[in-house]
Amino acid sequence: MTKIAPSILSADFSKLKNEIQDVEQGGADYIHVDVMDGHFVPNITIGPLIVESIKPYTGLPLDVHLMIENPDKYIPVFAEAGASIITVHQETCPHLHRTIQLIKSHDVKTGVVINPATPAEMIRDILQEVDLVLLMTVNPGFGGQAFIPEVLQKVKQIAAWRENRQLNFEIEVDGGINQKTAELCAEAGADVLVAGSAVFKQENRRKAIEEIACAAGKAE
Ligand SMILES: O=C(CO)[C@@H](O)[C@H](O)COP(=O)(O)O
């Protein structure tokens, strides 16, 4: 069953607690938290204080995506704040293996992510160490962008490596996910779909989540 991870970047921040509880009751599997620093990506968003303040109000795993330079410096505070999964960009980690070990040392699940233009080969040799591989289907920085279909080939490639090497990380995709692209991603091998606008910009979040999950289910 494909999991749905609503991205709170598209939520109404003036009532974030209610927004999170709404998607939890609507059937979400993870709460996706986009952390941006204004350097690695051209936007500034959420810090550990927000993670800490939402943690008591949801039973769902907090899936924290660090779009920041020098992630090693901030992994301990995000772990302490309540992150369940911490995902770092290969592009920001010159010593990726060491960074993944740092996340593990905080008893948090580990994720690695690549941008649309980064080849899958860049993370091939770290796959045995991670719980989640995130493939960006837009250039990170903003919600509401158009899906980049060329990434589907990478989803297939990573899924094939996972099968050949008998690994069991989850494959997550993020950016421009809607009913149409959800089906394509699930077909290619994605297990977790991050959706911002397609969930939070809809009045009925349960219906939005069900429709995306149902579209993905057609491919299963
Ligand atoms: O990380 C990001 C953007 O950098 C995403 O998580 C977006 O928040 C997804 O938004 P939609 O494309 O689904 O509106």
Angle between helices 205-217 and 179-188 (to 10 degrees): 40
Do 217 and 183 touch, CB atoms closer than 8 A? no
Q: Which of 22, 34, 63, 191 is catalytic?
A: 34
pLDDT along the chain (220 residues), means of 10: 97 98 98 98 98 98 98 98 98 98 98 98 98 98 98 98 98 98 98 98 98 90
**What is residue 135's predicted lDDT score, i.e. its pLDDT?**
99
**Alpha-carbon span 201 to 24, nearest angstrom:** 16
| Residue located via tokens 């059937």 | 27
Q: Does the ipTM exceed 0.95?
A: yes
Do 32 and 7 touch, CB atoms closer than 8 A? yes
Residues having CB closer than 6 A to ligand 1 are: 7, 9-10, 32, 34, 65, 138, 140-145, 174-177, 194-198
**What is residue 218's predicted lDDT score, i.e. its pLDDT?**
82
| Position 17, amino acid | K
**176 CA distance to ligand 1 middle (Å):** 7
**95 CA distance to ligand 1 middle (Å):** 26
Which pTM was predicted? 0.97
174 marked as binding residue: yes
For the record, the structure tokens of 138 come out as 């837009």
**141 CA distance to ligand 1 middle (Å):** 8
Q: Say if residue 164 is exposed, middle or buried (CB neighbours under 10 Å; 0-12, 13-18, 19+).
A: exposed
- In the chain the domains, ranked by start, together with CATH numbers, are 3-217 (3.20.20.70)
32 marked as binding residue: yes
Q: What H or E segment, with its residue span, contains residue 78?
A: helix 75-81
**Can 174 be counted among the known catalytic residues?**
yes
Beta bridge mates, 87: 65, 111
Closest Cα to atom 2, ligand 1: which residue? 140
